[in-house]
Structure 1
């Protein structure tokens, strides 16, 4: 980035969006939408939010102009991408998002951009690395506290791993809001950096990259912007740890 040294440019943070049938004003149409909490969290952390709707081409060009990437929550990743048959509770795949966000990750990796995955974003990052998912978490942990009802968050205590980036950004223990019925099972290339009390993987990070981090919860709905500040600091060319609490 360039800018006046006295007023350095704010990093441009790309955020992937949903594509949904949406009613707004007099219209009921397919629209590219995203919860405003994502952009507000980026702004609060000192970045500029740039929304990235699903597209067929352009990931390389987009990442050449952006300083970091956030992969947002949403529908389940297509099980075919990790060689599995769909579970009866797995949602219909969104092939446009899977392909676009996969391409964005390829481009971000090639360009050396920091990445923060959130919920579905964590799962896509793990699958792209050769991992697999538990397609219906209640089958594994015996409860639905991670996603108690449609449109409702569960509250889950987590503990972060010592010396991990996520610990430096949010602390050793905290309670997080989550809404996921799937979870990561295998995660080649990533280290687990946080777990819930029931053992569910809640954060992973790539130890070979300065900021390639993903969390299973929804930090954009909280009031602790540590993860976003870390991403913005890394996007600005600084140390994510410098933004830690």
Structure 2
């Protein structure tokens, strides 16, 4: 049986290896490892022309929008606040186009951290530009408990409270059109969102690639059907 091909969006950053220091398509190894452990094949999707997104998604069985820098506030009609990071406009444009293409085609879609925030923005939602308590220390992943909402896709996957790896200072504010919250932190922060219905669309605010819980990624891989099958 063919393993579903799951595209994962990437950073575009300067990186150093060996004698080289060059611009690179960069992605923490946890993402492809998570896809592979869940039974999928991982394909990297570096920033590209947004016009190519639909054709790209058409060749994939599932899409993961990875974590990364803050979404540029202009994308949701806001001015940047002092603690909002510098924009990554090529990623914003490319990943929003990937989300739009996945939603239009019914391709299973998972947003992780920034990816969940972009999913919300793509559907007309807004973000909180800074909140405290969800970063343990600079460059250090923390953990905190997340409580599922019963009778949601996420609640069915993970029916009880669980500790998740976390590192973010922004979060969902107003939900995008059609989205429902399917998990919360103890302080009320929305920790998962989804689109109800037949199409598999889920966003999680934490970083499953930094943990050992495969349930969310396994669900995406199960929902993804190889185009050749």
Work out which of the residue numbers 43, 59, 62 in structure 2 matches 1:50. 43
Residue among 185, 207, 210 paired with 2:199? 210
Q: Deviations over 1:57-116 (max 9, x none)?
A: 411111111001000000000000111110101011100000000111111112110100
2 CA distance for matches of 1:171 and 1:208?
Answer: 19
- TM-score, with structure 1 as normaliser: 0.89
Contact kept in structure 1, 2:150 and 2:159, CA below 8 Å: no
What per-residue deviation string (whole Å, max 9, x for no partner) do you get for residues 10-58 of structure 1?
1000000011111111111111110111101111111000100001141
Q: 1:27-38 residue pairs with structure 2 within 5 A?
A: 27-38=20-31
Q: Which residue of 2 aligns with 1:172?
A: 160
> Quick check: 2:113–2:168 contact (8 Å CA) kept in 1?
yes
Other-structure match for 1:72: 66
Distance 1:24 1:58 in 2: 30
Hey, what does 1:13 align to over in structure 2?
A: 6
The structure 2 residue matched to 1:89, chosen from 83, 88, 95, is: 83
What is the match of residue 183 of structure 1?
Answer: 171
Q: Considering only aligned residues, what root-mean-square deviation do their CA atoms show, in Å?
A: 1.1
2:18 to 14, 20, 25: 25
Partner of 1:4: none
1: CA distance, partners of 2:32 / 2:158: 19
* Structure 1 segments of 4+ aligned residues over 3 angstroms from their partners: none
Is 1:232 equivalent to 2:221 in the alignment? yes
The count of corresponding residues between Structure 1 and Structure 2 is 224
Partner residue in 1 for 2:124: 130
Counterpart of 1:41 in structure 2 is 34
Q: Aligned equivalents of 2:222 and 2:64: distance in 1? A: 14
Asked if structure 1 preserves the Cα contact closer than 8 Å seen for 2:100 and 2:122, the reply is no
Residues in 2 aligned to 1:150 and 1:113: alpha-carbon distance in whole angstroms: 35
**Where in structure 1 are there 5+ consecutive unaligned residues?**
1-7, 139-143, 238-245
Q: Report if aligned partners of 2:72, 2:88 keep a CA contact under 8 Å in 1.
A: yes
Tell me the CA shift for residue 171 of structure 1.
Answer: 2.8
Return the alpha-carbon distance in structure 1 between the equivalents of residues 199 and 98 of structure 2.
18
Secondary structure in structure 2 of the residue aligned to 1:204: strand
Structure 1, residues 187-231: CA drift from partner, whole Å, max 9, x if none? 132100000011111000011343100000001111110011000
Q: Does the CA-based 8 Å contact 2:107-2:199 persist in structure 1?
A: no
The equivalent residue for 1:114 is 108
SS of the residue aligned with 2:115?
helix
1:93 match: secondary structure: coil
**Equivalent in 79, 91, 97 of residue 103 of structure 1:** 97
Q: Matches of 1:122 and 1:86 in 2, distance apart?
A: 19
